[in-house]
Amino acid sequence: MTWAHNQRGKPYRYGAAGPYAFDCSGLTLYVFKHALGKYLPHNAAAQYRSVQHISRRALRPGDLVFASFGHGISHVGIYAGSGYMWHAPHTGSHVQRIKMYSAHWYYGRIIH
């Protein structure tokens, strides 16, 4: 969680994977590479395909949360616990910790 927190306030930029700007999958790619030495693809749907799928009940801080808005996986963030997530939301915004909003969520865990 420290690596995610340290990116707080950095701007969203489509296609960016740090260290100065991020898109959603670029943030998760960067955090897991630096925190755990784990490599993820730079695409939310591809990241979903590359992790172990888990239930909401099994979700714990550091797991990935994926959103679907009716046309496949289109967003990814890092679960921070207590219903919050770290993410890089959209153009004009920045990396932030937010309460998870309404969407069809899927969950994944990177196996160490």
The domain segmentation of the chain, as residue ranges, is 2-109
Give the phi and the psi of residue 33 in degrees, each rounded to 5.
-65, -45
d(CA 29, CA 16): 10
pLDDT for 104:
80
**The two structure tokens encoding residue 109:** 């865990």
* Section 36-64 average pLDDT: 96
Q: What is the pTM of this model?
A: 0.94
d(CA 28, CA 40): 8
pLDDT for 111:
80
pLDDT for 4:
95
> What's the CATH architecture for 2-109?
Alpha-Beta Complex (3.90)
